[in-house]
């Protein structure tokens, strides 16, 4: 049989296909080996593409640095906050009975408006515009940002459909109006980052600012984190923490006193500074007008203590006096004619503040006590000479900035063209200086002649590692006078407060010797044409040192244009600030007051001395009977049955009638201290290791920690004292209150309990 002839076209086609497939095989194989060898395709790294596709990133938020006071109390820090969001998309609601979006914009706006401090119309407009645009959600304006947890809970109780919250953070100032011009404030910018806008927050923004961290991890295509993933973590870097020299308690004393004076006298401005003259540390500083950095209700951006120079008035006489004493040209017993004094025949006379009448021929010591302009003018012009005076003003730091670590420090303005101008500078008129320059100069008076640079930044600490990155040390910036001169100046300034003819009598504080100098400066007319005139149209000031012999504190207070009655002088608002600030600050620092006359008399009236035994471990009842039998007053602290500690200690000698403090085992409790003397209160608080602030003087009439309450170490006790004649009345009132309370408790025991109300 004859075989069919093979088609040549089919053979040719098959051959071509084989060649094509062979070529494809070699191309694909070559491509495979190329990619395997290089890891690239089309010039791109495949591993990098895969990593981007399957790698996820999460932010770890850093924290802005905290600002602390000298004792480690936070006075500016980040805190949790919430942003209110309204869901508008109807598709989010699957069950009409349980809506997940805003159903009624009018009702929602009406109920939210009072909680967000916004107008109802404004809120409804935001919601309606969002609905009209088809927005998924909207934020509810400025009132809906940075709300605290309390407000959040109130909104949640409304159970408004579609209202939810985004977790956020904000800058928080726990004390509100508190050293506001020093701290400044920080707030979010358009990118949502907290940035400093004023004060320390702005100047140290770079150090305070945090850096967020990242977590990189592998995930599946739908975003689910893979098991045992390879994670890469870039840790966050917290902002540096800043510790200030401010003392929270002392700053609070200042703020409270300034607020009270503002309400009482409504002056244009108030300034107050408390400094440690041994170191230059600023312990407190505040002004009025001021603002709350949490709400930024700013009425005054400037800190006049640092940023303004002006005529300081007679507090400048302190330094002219010091210069004259240092040069040996001051004799306090020399006599001069007070009233008026001419620098030259062509000049207008310099007059004393009582209309130029003066007080006749008086000694220079009396002239200082009376704040005589003529006395200082004679010292500056005749005895010292204005050239030497200006050299001393330069030595006292009045010719240049202090360099304090706060922004905007102003320069002084020296008026010295004419001889009369140079003389008036000696008593605080004409030339203008800043209060912080005067504080720096005052440290030399209080610190044996050594002048200390003022500062507010104690240290900067790394917020992540807690290592100190920068620390400020006390710096002596001059020694304009000797220790002997400084002490002599303090003695004379003490007489300004203690003597009947002194202008500083209003600043005497029971229990402490105060040295100081008053000041009354004229205020230039802002419309031109000389100075303002009228009762109270002055800058009244006082520079005080205490204790006078070895000052622990320098306090400067100034009040501009207070509303005074015709019977009041500038000392009224000043003493309202200075006296409680100085007294409470000294007590907060543990500076003990001197014994009062009443306490000394009490000591003299008791003659028998008793040596104490050790009572530790003994029964409370037995010890109480033993002490009472000896004429002593036992004070039981706690509710235990045996004694754990005592004060005074064993072998200590006490006088009949004296209190002996006995702490029992268990939690110590507060005794009733009504009627106690100031000395007894100090002894008790030392024994219990708690802080105390005493208002006024005399004997206790009220106490902030109620009797029977637990007393913790480090607690703060505020007591109000009254003179002896007020004590009996206070005790009677207290007894009546206790009787009424007892009766109410008895009556209430027969009644059924009621539900609490909001």
- Buried b vs exposed e over 54-90: b needs ≥16 C-beta within 10 Å? eeeeeeeebbbbbbbbbeeebbbbbeebbbbbbbbbe
Asked if 548 and 490 count as a contact pair (C-beta separation under 8 A), the reply is yes
Asked if 553 and 515 count as a contact pair (C-beta separation under 8 A), the reply is no
Which residues is 543 bridged to in the sheet?
517, 556
Distance of alpha carbon 652 from alpha carbon 735, whole angstroms: 35
Distance of alpha carbon 460 from alpha carbon 38, whole angstroms: 51
Distance of alpha carbon 450 from alpha carbon 427, whole angstroms: 22
Question: How far does CA 441 lie from the centroid of its chain?
Answer: 24
User: What Cα–Cα distance (Å) separates residue 322 from each residue in 409, 489, 515?
Assistant: 26, 6, 14
Asked if 74 and 174 count as a contact pair (C-beta separation under 8 A), the reply is yes
Instruction: Tokens for 615, please give them.
Output: 């009572």
Nearest CA-CA partner of 103 in 142, 117, 167, 95: 95
Which residues is 518 bridged to in the sheet?
542
At residue 714, what are phi and psi to the nearest 5 degrees? Answer: 90, 0
Q: Which 8-state DSSP code applies to residue 506?
A: G
What is the three-state SS of 164-191? EEEEEEEEECCCCCCCHHHHCEEEECCC
- Buried b vs exposed e over 198-227: b needs ≥16 C-beta within 10 Å? bbbbebbbebbbbeebeeebbeeeeeeeee
Distance of alpha carbon 206 from alpha carbon 346, whole angstroms: 58
Distance of alpha carbon 731 from alpha carbon 751, whole angstroms: 31
Kindly give the pairing relationship between strand 67-68 and strand 74-87.
antiparallel
Distance of alpha carbon 557 from alpha carbon 506, whole angstroms: 13
Q: Please report where in the chains the tokens 């012999």 appear, as a residue.
A: 549
Question: How far does CA 689 lie from the centroid of its chain?
Answer: 24
Nearest CA-CA partner of 239 in 207, 269, 212: 207
* Cis, peptide link before residue 222, omega less than 30° from 0: no
Supply the residues annotated as catalytic: 314
Listing DSSP states for 563-596 in one string gives ---TT--THHHHHHHHHHHHHHHHHHTT-PPPPP
Instruction: Tokens for 699, please give them.
Output: 């004997």
Asked if 444 and 481 count as a contact pair (C-beta separation under 8 A), the reply is yes
Distance of alpha carbon 287 from alpha carbon 262, whole angstroms: 10
Asked if 373 and 501 count as a contact pair (C-beta separation under 8 A), the reply is no
Nearest CA-CA partner of 270 in 469, 540, 464: 540
Q: Please report where in the chains the tokens 């006749």 appear, as a residue.
A: 360
């Amino acid at each position: 049989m004859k075989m069919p002839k093979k088609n040549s076209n089919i053979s040719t086609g098959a051959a071509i296909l084989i060649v094509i497939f062979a070529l494809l095989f070699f191309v694909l194989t070559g491509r495979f080996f190329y990619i395997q060898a290089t890891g690239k395709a089309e010039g791109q790294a495949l591993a990098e593409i895969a990593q981007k596709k399957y790698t996820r990133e999460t932010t770890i938020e850093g924290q802005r640095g905290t600002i602390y006071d000298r004792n480690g109390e936070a006075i500016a820090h980040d805190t949790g906050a919430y942003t209110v969001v309204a869901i508008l998309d109807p598709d989010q609601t699957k069950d009409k009975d349980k809506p997940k979006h805003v159903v009624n914009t009018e009702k929602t706006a009406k109920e939210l408006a009072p909680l967000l401090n916004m107008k109802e119309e404004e809120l409804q407009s935001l919601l309606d515009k969002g609905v009209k645009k088809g927005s998924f959600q909207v934020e509810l304006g400025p009132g809906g940002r940075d709300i605290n947890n309390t407000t959040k809970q109130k909104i949640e109780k409304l159970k408004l459909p579609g209202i939810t919250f985004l977790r956020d953070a904000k800058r928080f100032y726990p004390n509100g109006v508190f050293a506001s011009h020093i701290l400044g404030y920080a707030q979010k910018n358009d990118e949502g980052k907290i940035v400093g806008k004023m004060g320390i927050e702005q100047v140290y923004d770079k150090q305070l600012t945090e850096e967020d961290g990242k977590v990189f991890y592998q995930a599946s295509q739908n975003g689910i984190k893979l098991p045992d993933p390879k994670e890469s973590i870039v840790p966050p870097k917290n902002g540096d923490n800043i510790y200030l020299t401010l003392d929270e308690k002392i700053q609070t004393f200042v703020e409270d006193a300034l607020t009270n004076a503002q309400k009482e006298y409504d002056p244009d401005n108030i300034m107050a500074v408390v400094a440690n003259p041994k170191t230059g540390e600023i312990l407190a500083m505040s002004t009025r007008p001021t603002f709350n950095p949490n709400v930024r209700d700013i009425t005054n951006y400037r800190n006049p203590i640092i940023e303004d120079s002006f005529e300081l008035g007679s507090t400048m006489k302190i330094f002219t006096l010091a210069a004259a004493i240092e040069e040996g040209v001051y004799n306090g017993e020399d006599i001069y004619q007070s009233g008026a004094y001419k620098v030259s025949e062509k000049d207008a006379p310099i007059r004393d503040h009582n209309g130029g009448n003066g007080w006749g021929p008086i000694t220079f010591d009396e002239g200082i006590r009376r704040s005589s302009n003529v006395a200082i003018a004679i010292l500056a012009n005749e005895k010292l000479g204005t050239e030497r005076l200006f050299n001393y003003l330069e030595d006292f730091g009045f010719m240049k900035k202090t360099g304090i670590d706060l922004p905007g420090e102003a320069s002084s303005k020296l008026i010295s063209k004419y001889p009369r101008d140079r003389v008036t500078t000696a008593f605080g008129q004409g030339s203008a200086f800043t209060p912080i320059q005067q504080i720096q100069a005052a440290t030399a008076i209080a610190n044996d002649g050594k002048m200390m640079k003022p500062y507010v930044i104690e240290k900067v600490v790394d917020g992540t590692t807690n290592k100190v990155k920068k620390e400020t040390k006390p710096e002596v910036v001059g020694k304009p006078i000797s220790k002997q001169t400084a002490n002599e100046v303090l003695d004379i300034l003490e007489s300004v407060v203690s003597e009947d003819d002194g202008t500083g009598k209003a600043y005497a504080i029971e229990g402490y010797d105060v040295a100081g100098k008053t000041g009354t400066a004229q205020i230039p007319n802002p419309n031109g044409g000389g100075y303002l005139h009228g009762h109270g149209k002055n800058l009244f000031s006082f520079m005080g040192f205490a204790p006078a012999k070895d000052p622990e504190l320098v306090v400067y207070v100034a009040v501009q244009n207070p509303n005074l009655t015709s019977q009041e002088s500038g000392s009224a608002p000043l003493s309202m600030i200075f006296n409680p600030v100085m007294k409470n600050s000294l007590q907060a620092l543990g500076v003990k007051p001197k014994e009062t006359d009443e306490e000394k008399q009490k000591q003299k009236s008791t003659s028998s001395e008793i040596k104490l035994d050790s009572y530790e471990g003994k029964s409370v009842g037995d010890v109480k009977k033993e002490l009472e039998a000896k004429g002593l007053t036992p004070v039981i602290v706690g509710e235990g049955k045996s004694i754990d500690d005592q004060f005074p200690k064993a072998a200590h000698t006490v006088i009949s009638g004296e209190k002996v403090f006995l702490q029992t085992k268990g939690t110590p409790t507060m005794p009733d201290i009504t009627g106690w003397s100031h000395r007894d209160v100090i002894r008790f608080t030392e024994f219990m290791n708690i802080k105390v602030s005493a208002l006024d003087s005399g004997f206790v009439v009220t106490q902030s920690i109620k009797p029977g309450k637990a007393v913790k170490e480090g607690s703060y006790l505020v007591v109000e004292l009254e003179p002896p004649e007020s004590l009996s009345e206070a005790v009677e009132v207290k007894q009546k209150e206790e009787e009424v309370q007892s009766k109410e408790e008895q009556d209430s025991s027969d009644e059924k309990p009621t539900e609490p109300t909001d």
